[in-house]
Amino acid sequence: MSETTLTQQLTGLIMAKPVAAADLEQAALLTLDAMANAMAGRISEPGVILLRWAGATGVTDAERNAFLLGSLTHILETDDLHRASVVHPGCVVIPAAWAVAVREGIRGHAMLKAVLWGFEAVTRIGMAVGPSHYRIWHNTATCGPYGSAMAAAALLQLDPATIVHALGNAGTQSSGLWQFLEAGTMTKHLHAGRAAEAGVLAADLARFGFTGPPNILEGAKGWFTATCPDAEPEAVTRNPEAPWQLLQTSIKPWPSCRHTHPAIDAARELRHQVVAEAIEQVEVETYAAALDVCDRSLPQSDYEAKFSLQHCVAAALTREAIDFATFTGTARAELAALRERVTLRLAEPYASAYPYAWGSAVTVITRGGERLTVRRTHAKGDPEIPLSPVELIAKARMLMNYGGVHEADRLIDAILALSDDSVLPPLPEMPVFLAVQQNFGV
C-alpha cells in the first residue's frame, strides 16, 4: 500500500466496504432529504434563474442535469452536513448519482450504493484538507468533485484503475472560494452544481479511456500542495473499518448555516427561561470557523441573515419556529435591537473540539443582572442527537410543500422505496429529468 497513491488506496478502501440493508435505508433517507431540498429550491430567486437557464439552453445530458439538481439542492441552507470534513455531501453526491442513474436506467440499490461510495470519498478527502483550507476555499465545492466522480464511477461499474483516472480529473477541476459572502451573491449554489457536474464528467470521460493523474492529492503539484497548507493526507484512509461516513452525516432542522445551529439549539432552550424584554445582553461562545463564516451583526439580505450568528440567536430567543420567515426583511427589522446586544467570542471547549464536534454556549444576561447559560456539545440533527425518520420525513414534506410539489407523500414514498430496489421516480415539474426518464421507460 505504501507504493500506491492516495486515490488508489481510497478506491480500494471504498470498494471493499460491505453494504448492509441498514446502510441502504439510511442512504434512502439522505436521498430524500437532498431531493426535498432541490424541490424547495426551485421557487427561490436563484432557483427560478437556474430553471430559466435550463429551459433556454435545453439541458438534457447527465452532467448538466447534475449541475442543475446540485445547485437547487444547496440554495435554502437546509441540506445535510458532515462535520469532520465540513462538507455538504448530499448536494453534490446525490444529484450526480441521480442524474447518472436516470440516464443509465439504474434501479434503487445500485443508486444508493453509489451514494454511499460518493459520501465516503468526499468526506474522507474533506477530513484531510486541514483547517486552513476552509478559510478561503469552500470544502463542499473543492472536495465535492471527488464524491460525485466516485458515485458516478460506481453506477458506471468502472474498474479500480479507471476510477483512479476519474478521481484525478475530478480533482483538477476542484474550485470554489468564499468571496461570495462579502458581496452576498448566488455563487454558493454554483459551487454545489459545478462539483456535481465535474465528477460526472470525469467519470464519463474515464469510461472512454480519458486518463487523469493518480497522485492528484499528494503530488508535488497536486491538490494538497496547491490548496491545503496544513493537510493531513493520512486522514484519507484512516480507520478503514469504520462505518460508512454517510452514517456520520448530520441533517439540518433549520434553514441556516450549520455553524449557527448549536447556538440556535441553546438559545431555543433559553427562550423558555426568560422573556425578550428582560434581556440586557447575549454572549455566544463558539469555535473559530463559526466566527469566520457567521460573524455578521448587520445582515442585509435573507441569505446574509442565514449566515449571521447574531441574527439566528436573536431569533431563537424570541420566536417559536426557526423557518424561512425568520430571515426576511421584516424579521431582520424586528430583531435588530436584540441582535445588536449579541456578542460572539472564541471559547473552549468548542474551539478544540471542532470539527469533530460543533458546539456552542449561549448566555443571557438579564436587566436584573442574572446570568442564564445553556451549553451544547452537539446540535439537533447530529448523529448523537439525530432526527428520527418521522422528523426527517416531516421535514421533507414541508420542503416539498414549500416548493409546490403536488402529491408530496407519493414522491416521498417512492424515494424511500429505493432501498427496496425500486425504480427512480420522475421528479415533478422538472421537464429536463422527465424527458430523460421517459426515454428509458422509467
CATH number at residue 213: 1.10.4100.10
One domain, residues 352 and 294: yes
Number of domains in the chain: 2
381 belongs to a structural domain: no
One domain, residues 208 and 276: no
361 belongs to a structural domain: yes
Q: Is the pTM of this model over 0.85?
A: yes
End-to-end Cα distance, the chain: 42
382 belongs to a structural domain: no
| pLDDT for position 183 | 85
One domain, residues 80 and 212: yes
Q: What is the DSSP string of 415-430?
A: HHGGGGTPPPPPPTT-
62 belongs to a structural domain: yes
The set of residues, in sequence order, having a beta carbon less than 8 Å from that of 327 and lying 6+ positions away, is 255, 256, 299, 302, 303, 305, 306, 311
For the chain, the farthest-separated pair of C-alpha atoms sits apart, in whole angstroms, at 72
CATH number at residue 327: 3.30.1330.120
pLDDT tens digits in sequence order for the chain, 442 residues long: 347 999 999 999 999 999 999 999 999 999 999 999 999 999 999 999 999 999 999 888 999 999 999 999 999 999 999 999 999 999 999 999 999 999 999 999 999 999 999 999 999 999 999 999 999 999 999 999 999 999 999 999 999 999 999 999 999 999 999 999 888 899 999 999 999 999 999 999 999 999 999 999 999 999 999 999 999 999 999 999 999 999 999 999 999 999 999 999 999 999 999 999 999 999 999 999 999 999 999 999 999 999 999 999 999 999 999 999 999 999 999 999 999 999 999 999 999 999 999 999 999 999 999 999 999 999 999 999 999 999 999 999 999 999 999 999 999 999 999 999 999 999 886 755 544 444 333 3
Buried b (16+ CB within 10 A) or exposed e, 270-285: bbeeeeeeebeebbbb
119 belongs to a structural domain: yes
| pLDDT for position 429 | 66
One domain, residues 106 and 161: yes
One domain, residues 287 and 249: no
One domain, residues 391 and 303: no
| pLDDT for position 227 | 97
One domain, residues 30 and 86: yes
One domain, residues 188 and 287: no
Q: Provide the residue range defining the domain that includes 201.
A: 6-253+387-439
| pLDDT for position 59 | 83
Mean pLDDT of the chain: 95
Final residue of a domain: which of 347, 376, 405? 376
CA 275/CA 65 separation, integer angstroms: 48
Final residue of a domain: which of 376, 400, 428? 376
Give per-residue pLDDT as tens, 302-322.
Answer: 999 999 999 999 999 999 999
164 belongs to a structural domain: yes
1 belongs to a structural domain: no
Q: Which three three-digit cell numbers place residue 413?
A: 414514498
Final residue of a domain: which of 345, 376, 407? 376
One domain, residues 215 and 343: no
One domain, residues 393 and 350: no
One domain, residues 131 and 220: yes
SS3 of residue 284 by DSSP: strand
One domain, residues 315 and 392: no
